[in-house]
């Protein structure tokens, strides 16, 4: 057996807390008999245990005489480290229980940009105040990216935008917000002079919109509005993020349908207008009052997720949203 193999054979003794507790008490008492009494043992086994520890370490921890016991320099240097080790070991059971209860741990949370305007900051602030030992990892991602990440186990949950009732299938979900769509129009447009606009005002306007793949239910709902009037949207430009869409509107590329919460994104050159419902006539369809489309935001997560921190977060959101 080589010297290195012998060292590895000794390593298990180094991690036995029993030896470190015995060392700590002898270091505190500087008296083997008193330390043995506190450990509910006799002195000879304690003396043997310290000798064993010194043998494994290959150095002396105490200088002993018949009248006194003193720490060596190496022993004194070990004392604070050993006390820290024992304190952390004593805290492990409580830590394990807190982890199982979701009081400590990690939550990987994705979100679409619209949630970041108002709701997400409030929820994150409240959750961190209630659960300061949880580490939140926030990732901005589109809905399609979130579903891929959820399937791959890369995130625990995500906030996604969708049409009413169209939360992703196969996922657990909780609706956290609902709102109407409004229209963002260039400030120099004639539409900006109106306090509200109708669908008829918008049918011929070039449209800036997100690609269908990232938000299919809402994309289809917007297109359905035009189709109900016998028209097809004139798509001038596609963009992924709502902020980018609004920026392109400010450049005069077209109008954009956006959630009402996007009004908080104030961009020069853009104004937001509500949509007034109006009777519309489609091909071979009698006049109907076309409803203004709405949207919802839901927190979604895999039904197989067992992260207890997520359940804490879902509860926190439930208290906020009702």
On average, the pLDDT of the chain sits at 88
Encoding tokens for residue 217?
Answer: 């239910």
How far apart (Å, rounded) are the C-alpha atoms in residues 291 and 221?
11
Q: Is the pLDDT of residue 283 over 90?
A: no
Render pLDDT for 73-84 as a digit per residue (tens, 0 to 9): 999 999 999 999
The domains of the chain are located at 3-100, 105-176+297-321, 180-294
CATH number of the domain located at residue range(s) 3-100 in this protein: 1.10.10.10
Q: Is the pLDDT score of 7 beyond 60?
A: no
Query: Which pLDDT belongs to residue 286?
Result: 45
Of 11-25, 170-184, 217-231, 284-298, the poorest mean pLDDT is in 284-298
* pLDDT reported for residue 285: 43
Instruction: Specify the pLDDT at position 27.
Output: 95
Residue 271 has pLDDT above 50, yes or no: yes
Q: Which CATH number fits domain 180-294: 1.10.8.60, 3.40.190.10, 3.40.50.720, 1.10.10.10?
A: 3.40.190.10
With 0-12 / 13-18 / 19 or more C-beta atoms within 10 angstroms meaning exposed / middle / buried, residue 243 is: middle
Residue length of the chain: 322
Q: Are 270 and 287 in contact (CB under 8 A)?
A: no
Give yes or no on whether 105-176+297-321 and 180-294 have one common fold. Answer: yes
The span from the CA of 156 to the CA of 144, in Å, is 15
Specify the pTM. Answer: 0.74
**Tokens in use for 236?**
């001038």
pLDDT at 87 over 90: yes
The predicted-structure confidence for 198-239, as pLDDT tens digits, reads as follows 999 999 999 999 999 999 999 999 999 999 989 999 999 999
Task: For residues 245-273, give the mean pLDDT.
Answer: 93
Q: What is the DSSP string of 219-232?
A: HHHHHHHHHHTT--
Residue 186: burial class (beta carbons within 10 Å; 0-12, 13-18, 19+)? buried
Summarize the confidence of residues 268-294 as an average pLDDT: 68
Fold (CATH) for 105-176+297-321: D-Maltodextrin-Binding Protein; domain 2 (3.40.190)
Q: What angle do CA 287, 291, 293 make, to 5 degrees?
A: 140
Strands (E), the chain: 62-64, 69-71, 105-111, 134-140, 157-162, 171-186, 196-198, 206-209, 234-238, 256-259, 270-276, 279-282, 285-289, 294-302
Judge whether 269 and 250 are in contact, CB under 8 Å: yes
């Amino acid at each position: 057996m080589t010297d290195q193999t012998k060292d590895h054979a000794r390593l298990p003794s180094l991690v036995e807390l029993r030896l470190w507790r015995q060392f700590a008490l002898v270091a505190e008492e500087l008296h083997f008999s008193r330390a043995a009494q506190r450990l509910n043992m006799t002195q000879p086994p304690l003396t043997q245990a310290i000798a064993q520890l010194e043998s494994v370490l290959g150095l002396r921890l105490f200088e002993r005489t018949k009248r006194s016991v003193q720490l060596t320099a190496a022993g004194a240097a070990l004392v604070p480290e050993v006390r820290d080790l024992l304190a952390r070991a004593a805290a492990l059971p409580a830590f394990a229980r807190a982890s199982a209860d979701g009081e400590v741990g990690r939550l990987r949370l994705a979100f679409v940009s619209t949630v970041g305007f108002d709701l997400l900051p409030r929820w994150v602030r409240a959750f961190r105040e209630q659960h300061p030992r949880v580490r939140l990892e926030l990732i901005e991602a589109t809905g399609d990216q979130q579903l891929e990440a959820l399937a791959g186990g890369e995130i625990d949950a995500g906030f996604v935008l969708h049409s009413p009732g169209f939360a992703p299938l196969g996922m657990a979900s909780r609706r956290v917000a609902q709102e109407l769509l409004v229209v963002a129009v260039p400030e120099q447009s004639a539409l900006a002079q109106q306090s509200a606009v109708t669908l008829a005002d918008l049918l011929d306007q070039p449209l800036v919109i997100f690609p269908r793949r990232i938000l299919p239910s809402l994309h289809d709902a917007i297109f359905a509005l035009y189709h109900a009037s016998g028209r097809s949207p004139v798509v001038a430009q596609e963009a992924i993020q709502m902020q980018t869409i609004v920026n392109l509107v400010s450049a005069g590329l077209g109008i954009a349908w956006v959630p009402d919460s996007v009004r908080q994104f104030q961009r020069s050159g853009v104004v937001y207008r509500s949509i007034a419902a109006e009777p519309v006539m489609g091909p071979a369809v009698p006049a109907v009052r076309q409803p203004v489309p709405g949207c919802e935001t839901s927190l979604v997560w895999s039904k197989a997720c067992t992260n207890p921190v997520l359940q804490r977060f879902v509860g926190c959101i439930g208290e906020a949203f009702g």
